[in-house]
């Protein structure tokens, strides 16, 4: 018999692709985690695009559509809010949600700067609510397995590695000039979009803090056509009036961790030929481990005492790794991106249920933001920089 459950009123602010992913995660939650004592109920969806909230109500079962996210704040039916709005709204919406006493699941990078992320973190702490941040790649069972074997010393002491996030979503020169390419609304470009994931993933997998870094950035497509209407995802605007791209397409950084490990971090949104090429290779004194998002449930692993000519094997993780057992019964059965967001939703709701943070929180967002700001400072000065809170 399932446990007695209390309803958890949910609102979603921003209903582009990520708002849909959050919504679908809530709807699937009890299928995979039947022991939860809180049952998400979709109350309100807010989106400024005319008709989008109404469509979400019809498709997913939200009770109330809204054009303005502020309508969420004073609604007593709502206990928790997902914020999937554009980056420049994160600090305002996230802080207001927390001050209203509602639990907060917010997408990365949580604003445009460390100050933005800190403002939301401070509001969450002052209100005593729970939080979660959308660093979903650390939720992959294979990633958690890699972290565990590194912590256990299976590959020896970590010496060096590479964390790369390559995508082609902005590779087309006719990609629409949306908010993502504006400094005021999209922030620092690929740093906040993809490098934020890489920075979080490196800290999580290594279980270590960053001591210092030096970085380089570039904008390879300096102009893009302006869209003629509302956009979803990464559509084209062929023939539109050209406008300037104000933030960066590419970043690379040499990162020195407190342990002495050296890591290369690299991210690109214009990597033609690369689709979601996200992952890492970590080398130690006795072996190495690697993961690629496109092989979500696989690790490439070399362990032993041979050092030279030591073989590399493919390992398929199974029910003993992370939350894998909530989705599949045996090794090598495929999981998906959306499954990682279900895990994230579970940890958010479990945090609310227990009153203790489970999974990511605003602390992780502040740490990631401080590293991104350090990268920006390093590019400006050409020098090694120590992140403030990493």
Statement to judge: residues 186 and 329 lie in one domain: yes
On whether both 178 and 149 belong to a single domain, the answer is: yes
Alpha-carbon distance of 129 to 79, in angstroms, equals: 10
148 shares its domain with 68 = no
On whether both 128 and 19 belong to a single domain, the answer is: yes
Q: What is the pLDDT of residue 235?
A: 86
Residue 54: which pLDDT band, with cuts at 50, 70 and 90? very high
Assigned domain for 349 exists: no
Does residue 290 lie in a domain region?
Answer: yes
At residue 234, the pLDDT reads 81
Q: Mark which of 135, 158, 188 sits at the end of a domain.
A: 135
Binning pLDDT at 50, 70 and 90, where does residue 233 land?
A: low
Residue carrying structure tokens 């270590």: 208
CB-side neighbour CA atoms (13 Å) of 18? 18
- Report how many domains make up the chain: 2
Structural domain span for residue 276: 137-335+360-381
Residues 247 and 301 in one domain: yes
Distance from C-alpha of 291 to C-alpha of 280, rounded to nearest angstrom: 5
CA atoms of 26 and 61, how far apart (whole Å): 12
Mean pLDDT value across the chain: 96
Distance CA 86, CA 338 (A): 20
State phi, psi for 74 to the nearest 5 degrees. Answer: -100, 10
Q: Is 343 domain-assigned?
A: no
> First and final CA of the chain: distance in angstroms?
45
The answer to whether residues 100 and 112 belong to one domain is yes
Cα separation of 120 and 129, whole Å?
A: 11
Cα 209 → chain centroid:
19
Long-range contacts of 152-156 (CB under 8 A, 24+ apart): 154/286, 154/287, 154/289, 154/303, 155/282, 155/283, 155/284, 155/285, 155/286, 155/287, 155/288, 155/289, 155/302, 155/303, 156/284, 156/285, 156/286, 156/287
Burial 302-326 (b: 16+ CB within 10 A, else e): bbeeeeeeeeeeebebbbebbbbeb
345 is a domain residue: no
* Mean pLDDT, range 34-52, rounded to an integer: 97
What is the token pair recorded at 66?
A: 């809204």
Per-residue pLDDT at 9 exceeds 60: yes
Is there a domain that residue 352 lies in? Answer: no
Angle (CA) 366 353 68, round 5°: 60
- Predicted confidence at residue 228, as pLDDT, reads 83
Q: Quick one: three-class SS letters along 16-81? A: CHHHHHHHHHHHHHHHHCCCCCEEEEEEEEECCCCCHHHHHHHHHCCCEEECCHHHHCCCCCCCEE
What pLDDT score does 230 carry? 66
For 180-198, the pLDDT digits (tens) are 999 999 899 999 999 999 9
List, for residues 93-146, the tens digit of each pLDDT value.
999 999 999 999 999 999 999 999 999 999 999 999 999 999 999 999 999 999
Check pLDDT > 60 for residue 390.
no
Residue 104 lies in a domain: yes
How far apart (Å, rounded) are the C-alpha atoms in residues 380 and 129?
37
193 and 325 co-located in one domain: yes
Would you call 10 helix, strand, or coil by DSSP? strand
Q: Within this chain, do residues 130 and 270 fall inside the same structural domain, yes or no? A: no
- Cβ atoms of 168 and 272 within 8 Å: the answer is yes
**What is the rounded radius of gyration, in angstroms, for the C-alpha atoms of the chain?**
21
- Tokens for 251, please give them: 């970043």
Boundary (domain end) residue, out of 100, 135, 170: 135
- Treating both helix axes as pointing N-terminal to C-terminal, what angle do 141-151 and 196-206 enclose, rounded to 10 degrees? 40
State the pairing for strand pair 158-166/277-284.
antiparallel
pTM of the predicted model as reported, rounded to 2 decimal places: 0.95
Q: Which of 119, 135, 151 is the last residue of a domain?
A: 135
Has residue 251 been placed in a domain?
A: yes
User: What does the pLDDT read at residue 68?
Assistant: 97
Position 353 in a domain: no
Q: Span 62-85, mean pLDDT?
A: 98
- Domain of 125: which CATH number? 3.40.50.720
Q: Which CA distances in Å does 228 have to 47, 50, 244, 297?
A: 19, 15, 16, 41
229 shares its domain with 120: no
Q: Which of 285, 277, 286, 317 is nearest to 300 (CA)?
A: 317
Which residues lie across from 103 on neighbouring strands? Answer: 80
Is residue 227 scored above 60 in pLDDT?
A: yes
CATH number at residue 146: 3.30.360.10
Do 210 and 304 have their domain in common?
yes
Q: Give 276-331 pLDDT, tens digit per residue.
A: 999 999 999 999 999 999 999 999 999 999 999 999 999 999 999 999 999 999 99
**Is 143 found in the same domain as 107?**
no
Q: Are 126 and 198 in a shared domain?
A: no
């Amino acid at each position: 018999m399932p446990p007695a459950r209390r309803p958890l009123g949910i609102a979603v602010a921003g209903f582009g692709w990520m708002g849909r992913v959050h919504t679908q995660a809530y709807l699937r939650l009890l299928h995979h985690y039947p022991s939860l004592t809180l049952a998400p109920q979709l109350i309100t969806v807010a989106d400024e695009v005319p008709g989008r909230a109404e469509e979400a109500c019809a498709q997913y079962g939200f009770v109330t559509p809204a054009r303005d996210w502020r309508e969420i704040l004073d609604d007593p039916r709502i206990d928790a809010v997902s914020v999937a709005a554009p980056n420049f709204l994160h600090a305002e919406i996230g802080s207001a949600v927390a001050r209203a006493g509602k639990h907060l699941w917010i997408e990365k990078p949580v604003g445009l700067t460390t100050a933005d992320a800190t403002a939301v973190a401070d509001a969450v702490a002052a209100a005593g609510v729970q939080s979660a941040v959308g660093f979903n790649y650390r939720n992959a069972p294979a990633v958690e397995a890699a972290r565990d074997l590194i912590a256990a010393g299976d590959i020896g002491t970590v010496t060096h590695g590479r964390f790369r996030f390559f995508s082609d979503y902005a590779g087309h020169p006719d990609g629409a000039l949306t908010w993502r390419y504006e400094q005021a609304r999209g922030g620092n470009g690929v740093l906040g979009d993809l490098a934020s994931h890489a920075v979080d993933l490196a800290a999580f997998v290594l279980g270590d803090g960053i001591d210092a870094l030096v970085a380089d950035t570039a904008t390879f497509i300096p102009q893009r056509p302006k869209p003629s209407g509302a956009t979803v995802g990464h559509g084209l605007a062929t023939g539109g009036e050209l406008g300037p791209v104000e933030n960066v397409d590419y970043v690379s950084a040499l990162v020195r961790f407190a342990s002495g490990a050296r890591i290369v971090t690299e991210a690109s949104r214009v990597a033609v030929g690369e689709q979601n090429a996200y992952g890492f290779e970590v080398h130690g004194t006795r072996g190495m481990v690697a993961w690629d998002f496109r092989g979500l449930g696989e690790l490439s692993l070399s362990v032993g005492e041979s050092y030279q000519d030591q073989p590399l094997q493919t390992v398929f993780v199974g029910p003993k790794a992370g939350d894998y057992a909530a989705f599949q019964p045996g090794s090598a059965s495929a999981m998906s991106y959306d499954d990682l967001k279900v895990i994230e939703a579970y940890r958010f709701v479990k945090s609310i249920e227990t009153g203790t943070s489970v999974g990511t929180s605003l602390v992780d967002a502040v740490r990631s933001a401080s590293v991104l700001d350090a990268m920006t400072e390093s590019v400006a000065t050409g020098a090694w920089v120590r992140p403030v809170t990493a």
